[in-house]
Amino acid sequence: MDVATVLSRIATVVNGADLAGNTLGVNATHFMPSAPDVPAFYPFHWRGVYDRDYGGLAEMTMTWHLLLSRAEDENASEEASALAGTGVETIYTAVHAARKTGTGGKYAGGVADDIVIRAVEGPRQFEFGPGGGGPAFWGIEFTIFGMG
């Protein structure tokens, strides 16, 4: 499983999705931007595990952040709730729609055997930038699991 390609495909899937709420589109990237253009969806952290079986299966747990607003307001909370659900026009549905659509029944063009969203948490405040101390944004955090 190529980590860079997996991150890139997830960002592409989210960028191409119709999402709920007032957002006209989420700015999804396969890397943490130096200055987020909200709403910004990006991988914050990932962890891989090699050789989960004798065939060399790799697993990857990724933490993605969706930053929505610099202010704690009703609109940011509503956006978080709308985008964090499992119904139509959500991040969950966008990521899961690419399952088994790729080559050989694999995820989004064959980049992994499968990718699923396992959890979502928020809304809460994120200090953006290395080591924190940067501007604070309200957002939500997704835990995405992949294997391949």
Degrees (nearest 5) of the Cα angle 132, 117, 103?
Answer: 120
Rounded Cα distance, 123 and 49, in Å: 29
Rounded Cα distance, 91 and 88, in Å: 9
Domains of the chain by start residue, with CATH: 3-147 (3.30.70)
DSSP class of residue 87 equals: S
The pLDDT tens digits along the chain (148 residues) read 788 988 998 999 899 888 876 655 788 999 999 888 888 999 999 998 888 777 778 899 999 999 988 776 777 778 888 888 888 888 998 898 887 665 555 666 677 888 899 999 988 888 877 666 678 888 999 999 988 8
Rounded Cα distance, 28 and 19, in Å: 12
Rounded Cα distance, 121 and 119, in Å: 7
The model's pTM is 0.86
- Mapped onto helix, strand or coil, the DSSP state of residue 89 is coil
Q: How many residues comprise the chain?
A: 148
Rounded Cα distance, 31 and 136, in Å: 19
- Mapped onto helix, strand or coil, the DSSP state of residue 8 is helix
Rounded Cα distance, 129 and 123, in Å: 18
